[in-house]
Amino acid sequence: MTPSGAPAPRPLRTPTVAIIGAGVSGLCMAIRLRGIGVETFTIHEKGHAVGGTWRDNTYPGLYCDVPSRYFQYSFAPNPDWTRVFSPGPEIGRYLRDVADRHGITDRITFGSEITEGRWVDGRWRLSGPDGPVGDADFVFTGCGFLHRPSIPDLPGLDAFAGPTFHSSAWDHGVDLADARVGIVGMGSTAVQVVTALAGSTRSLTQFARTPQWILPLPNRRYTRLARWAYRRFPGLNDRAYRGHRWLFERVVVTALVHDGWQRRLVAAICRRRLRTIRDPDLRRRLTPTYAAGCKRLIVSTGYHRAIQHPDVAFVDDAIDRIEPRGVRTADGTLHELDVLVLATGFDTQALVRPTEFVGPDGRRLSDAWADGPRGYRTVAVPGLPNLLMAMGPNSPVNASSMVNVAETQVGYAIDLVQRWRRGEVDAVAPTEDAARRFTDDARSALTGTVWVTGCDSWYMGPDGTPQIWPWLPDRHRRMLAHVELEDFEELGERTDGRAAEPVGGRSPE
């Protein structure tokens, strides 16, 4: 008893936390755990360096399509960004520096791929290709959604005689200076590669079936004076972060969610840029037939200039097959090539897969997601206790900063971990009803968004419905501001010896 007669507070429990992935989300989770005094965590990283997609992707012209001062941790501002939209190598260096400064790097087990998590005796038992790797009270997946390359099913792809590689595994040993290079794809990566390589190869041919809208936001350099000011006056970093977030979300993201002046403005800017294409036939072939933003907007000021270079060709005929000497299109033309690059994006519906998770009642994640990823509030899945996700189903990845999204989801995970430490919860997962309500609300809210105006995008799930966050990002931040225990249920016996009981409405002892 305390001197006042109240029961002595129960000592905090110490959770063991397994973090999968050492990218933006995984590093954030580790830093936040350390911030609440939890040191019993391990980061499992299948690669051999931090950075995730910013480690793997090194293709020419790589940059982020979200402003630098918004695409950074709010708690770790970088005063030295060189451009408004960060080049890929700078983001990689930033993430490595953050990991080092927060003492996280030595907590990472590199070359550690997690293939399965199975709930055994009240904990997650994790396994890799070579067998068990450890147990944990919580698992946090920071795998992202751009980690499984999408390889197109092109007949004869293996028959091509020259080097062939996906853009996420760029072969820098291949000399392109005197090569006839083919780029398959029309997404952000393809646009960045074409813009970077135009005029530096013998020829460059882009194969793309569907044109995309290009938003020409200028990528100006930060001057030395500006970088000095950000270092000298730290408060400027916070103001810039908030300012860029407000501007990007209130104009670009709002254009996607609501049919208002923002949508008309974005469409007008994109259409005006198309008028810089001098050849009427090329302009027609580069003009999409769907609304701007239905597919992810591509940020570029140089692509329309690059595609008009004398040594660059745009081919929108379907690819019939790949032959040893090049690409044969449906019109019978053989486009002879020396190098073939697949800038064909990623399987954005994979999320944490192919890693399998099996809950206490035998429920498998693969079964739960047989018809596409579904979950609770972007962070959890019914039947899988103490499994928390970054970039889970319906996350706001449409045009937001993934760093900001990760911080929001990590904050929610930390809240649940803290409740576990205090003994308020033990093995909890969202109820089926709570997850269903969230999914139904998200589907209903799609009405009026640009994603249902008629296009086929990587947002689409197997049933043809966009699986995306249909509201503004600030709703996501409010929704995950704290855990609502009434949406959760205890699964199995508690590991602290108390009987399992409904979570909703229980007060901490």
What tens-digit pLDDT sequence spans the chain (509 residues)?
Answer: 455 555 556 788 999 999 999 999 999 999 999 999 999 999 999 999 999 999 999 999 999 999 999 999 999 999 999 999 999 999 999 999 999 999 999 999 999 999 999 999 999 999 999 999 999 999 999 987 776 888 899 999 999 999 999 999 999 999 999 999 999 999 999 999 999 999 999 999 999 999 999 999 999 999 999 999 999 999 999 999 999 999 999 999 999 999 999 999 999 999 999 999 999 999 999 999 999 999 999 999 999 999 999 999 999 999 999 999 999 999 999 999 999 999 998 776 767 878 999 999 999 999 999 888 999 999 999 999 999 999 999 998 877 899 999 999 999 999 999 999 999 999 999 999 999 999 999 999 999 999 999 888 878 878 888 889 999 999 999 999 999 999 999 986 555 555 445 565 433 33
* Calpha distance 201→21 (Å, rounded): 36
pTM of the model: 0.93
For 68, half-sphere exposure in the C-beta direction (CA atoms, 13 angstrom radius) is 26
Same domain membership, residue 185 and residue 59: no
Same domain membership, residue 429 and residue 376: yes
Is 54 domain-assigned?
A: yes
Tell me the pairing of strands 428-430 and 488-490.
antiparallel
Same domain membership, residue 129 and residue 39: yes
Kindly give, in sequence order, each residue whose CB lies less than 8 Å from that of residue 449, ignoring residues fewer than 6 positions away.
256, 257, 258, 466, 470
Is 460 domain-assigned?
A: yes
Same domain membership, residue 392 and residue 452: yes
Of 327, 345, 363, the one marking the end of a domain is 345
Distance, CA of 7 to chain centre:
46
Is 376 domain-assigned?
A: yes
- Cα radius of gyration rounded to whole Å, the chain: 24
Q: Which residue intervals of 162-234 are DSSP H helices?
A: 188-197, 224-232
Residue 421, phi then psi, degrees to nearest 5: -60, -35
Torsion sign, CA atoms 42, 47, 50, 56: negative
Torsion sign, CA atoms 132, 133, 137, 143: negative
Distance, CA of 229 to chain centre:
31
Of 310, 329, 345, the one marking the end of a domain is 345
Same domain membership, residue 314 and residue 440: no
What residue numbers bound the domain in which 203 lies?
152-210+295-345
* Calpha distance 255→261 (Å, rounded): 8
* Calpha distance 142→45 (Å, rounded): 10
Same domain membership, residue 27 and residue 52: yes
Q: Which residues pair with residue 358 across a beta bridge? A: 118, 364
Is 225 domain-assigned?
A: no
Residue 334, phi then psi, degrees to nearest 5: -100, 115
Which letter does DSSP use for residue 4 in this model? T
* Calpha distance 189→191 (Å, rounded): 5
Is 471 domain-assigned?
A: yes
CB atoms inside a 10 Å sphere around CB 199: 11
Is 281 domain-assigned?
A: no
Closest CA to 375 of 409, 404, 417: 409
3-state DSSP assignment of residue 429? strand
Same domain membership, residue 189 and residue 124: no
